[in-house]
Amino acid sequence: MFDVIMVPVDGSEYSFKAVDMAVDIAQKFSSKIAAVHVLEEFSFNSYDSEEDSGDALLAKVTKKANDAGVEVIEHLITADPLRDMNFIVNQTRADLVVIHAHGANNNRFVSFEENEVSDTQIGSVSERLLRTSNVPVLLVK
């Protein structure tokens, strides 16, 4: 049913909840996981440190999935996650995206309630992907 399940990771606890879900689904459908970490185009940190951090995050996903018998293809990409996520989905040839509702940057929410993260908030990247994706998107809270 799903050959490739894409799961974006940003280092947040939320993204690793999505990884857990993606691994469970991949086991059931004998799918591969496309683990994606996006290095933002404009960052105040050095590219080398961002790249090292991204590699470490992807290695965690690979270990977790491999321990469960699931194959992982790692993708470390420089892009704008808000603008380019559909392009990344197409490039990974994903037939399902498992993404977290909240991201590492709590300032990018579609709605705010006294600046606290609530169950009704969705991160901007997740919200745009839900509205525009050509493949099914599973939002994990």
Q: Round to whole Å and give the CA distance between 78 and 40.
A: 6
Contacts of residue 115, Cβ cutoff 8 Å, sequence gap at least 6: none
Kindly report the CATH class assigned to 4-140.
alpha beta
Condensed to tens digits (0 to 9), the pLDDT of residues 66-83 reads 999 999 999 999 998 888
Contact of 100 with 138, CB cutoff 8 Å: no
Condensed to tens digits (0 to 9), the pLDDT of residues 23-63 reads 999 999 999 999 999 987 766 666 677 788 899 999 999 99
pTM for the model: 0.85
Domain extents in the chain = 4-140
